[in-house]
Amino acid sequence: MLKNVGIIGFGSYIPYYRITIAEIAKVWRKNPLDIEKALGISEKAVVGFDEDTVTMATEAASNALLMASLPASRIQALYIGSESHPYAVNPSSTIVAEVLGVGRHYMAADLEFACKAGTAGVQMISGLLEAGIINYGLAIGADSSQAKPHDVLEYTAGAGAAAFLLGRNRKDFLVEIIDFASYSSDTPDFWRRDGIPYPTHAGRFTGEPAYFTHVQEAAQSLLKKTNLRPADFSYAVFHMPNAKFPCEVAKRLGFTCEQIEPSLVVRQIGNPYSASSLLGLNAVLEIAKPGQLIFLTSYGSGAGADSFILKTSKLLPGLRKKVPAISDWLKNKQYIDYPEYLKLTRKI
């Protein structure tokens, strides 16, 4: 178990534009009700012309720093997890750090592990904090997800960012990170070769043995390690490729619908890949009470899953009011049609 790692600030960002599942289905002459029922999603977030992973990450990180009232110059490590870094060669992390005003003496890296690259950053910073190498670190998950037109992913691939400022001074903890565990394997359920604009997926193979196997194994490993049961947690958050998978895996593990319902932001923003589970966690932290346990499990194709046990502190209710909430981002929106969607996502 970890002894000196906690979240001292968190922030989120969801783009202004939305497209409904019905609008996409209409173009391809599909029944929108069938698709919405199958995926559990009604609309998704879409980046604007002037937005990408870097801009969204910067917005989310700025909110995390604001919540913690910490100068950016105190950050000693900054990691960004994403599948959609704007440059193949040139780090997103240093651009974000430059805008924030981090300075020059910090560790930085862009991380890639499909949709769990953001939680990988949380683990890396947690190790640095626990070892006493740094005092503050920033982990970000951000994506503007790609999807080939007329692929099933087009209905779910969304956009957004979530940032977590971690520290090692317990008096500052909004949320304590108690422990984590991972499960990884070479299971190629989803991939995109260098130079190819859209990812390829293995259809139903992405469920079993990919998503469900890895999420269950990571979760069960952590529960066994800590001698905790699903009933011990107030909330649970699972990666959301759609709204059906997290509900199904929660049921298999013994969590209830009530425990995961507050996290299911996928229904209104789609799957923002590396930001998916982290935005779900943010949604939960915006309603959680002090002293509650939260279970979090991310998933990344290729494949792997990271599970975490978190505990909220008495500082959380007061400080979370300093920044925009997920509910604010969800209400602040403008719907677009399919031609505009193609323009904004650079498909035409």
Catalytic annotation, residues: 83, 115, 239
Please tell me what DSSP assigns to residue 211: I
User: Closest Cα to residue 278, out of 96, 115, 70?
Assistant: 115
Q: Phi and psi of 268, rounded to 5°?
A: -115, -10
User: Closest Cα to residue 215, out of 296, 95, 152?
Assistant: 296
AA letter at 327: S
Distance CA 64, CA 12 (A): 8
3 state SS of 220: helix
Is the bond into 262 cis (omega within 30 degrees of 0)?
A: no
Residue 73: burial class (beta carbons within 10 Å; 0-12, 13-18, 19+): middle
CB-CB neighbours of 205 under 10 Å: 14
**Token pair 């997800």 in the structure block, residue:** 145
Give me the residues paired with residue 191 across strands: 200
3 state SS of 36: helix
User: Closest Cα to residue 190, out of 244, 247, 248, 239?
Assistant: 239
Report CA torsion sign: 110, 116, 120, 122: positive
Distance CA 188, CA 271 (A): 19
Distance CA 221, CA 152 (A): 32
Q: Phi and psi of 216, rounded to 5°?
A: -65, -45
